[in-house]
């Protein structure tokens, strides 16, 4: 099995998407240069929201709550509740497993 030498880089396209570009080795056989090109397109979060039917106006993060937590951390007042974190992790795993079976 021959391992093909190539260099990959991500470039931005004019419409705001990212595109993975592979520069094949000049010494690679002609059969590997043609017909085996792979293109990967990454979608921005705003495009994903549009595809999901979201308006883009709602934020998945409560910025006021984030700022309050940042303030509490900077003042040394933020308390971590390991039991609540563990319960949240367990519930997430249960949901993932239930969705996987469905």
| Per-residue pLDDT, 89 | 96
CA distance linking residue 53 with residue 2, whole number of Å: 45
- With a cut of 70, list the residues of the chain below it in pLDDT: 1-37, 49, 52-59, 102
| Per-residue pLDDT, 95 | 93
Q: Where are the domains of the chain?
A: 1-42
CA distance linking residue 41 with residue 16, whole number of Å: 11
- Is pTM beyond 0.85 here? no
Beta carbons of 19 and 11 less than 8 angstroms apart? yes
| Per-residue pLDDT, 81 | 93
Distance set, CA 90 to CA 18, 84, 86 (Å): 35, 10, 6
| Per-residue pLDDT, 44 | 76
């Amino acid at each position: 099995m021959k391992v093909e030498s190539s260099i990959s880089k991500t470039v931005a396209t004019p419409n705001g998407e990212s595109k993975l570009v592979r520069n094949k080795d000049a010494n690679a056989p002609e059969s590997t240069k043609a017909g085996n090109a792979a293109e990967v397109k990454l979608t921005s979060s705003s495009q994903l929201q549009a595809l999901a039917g979201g308006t883009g106006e709602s934020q998945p993060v409560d910025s006021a709550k984030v700022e309050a937590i940042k303030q509490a951390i900077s003042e040394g007042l933020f308390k971590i509740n390991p039991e609540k974190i563990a319960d949240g992790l367990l519930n997430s795993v249960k949901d993932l497993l239930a969705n996987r079976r469905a």
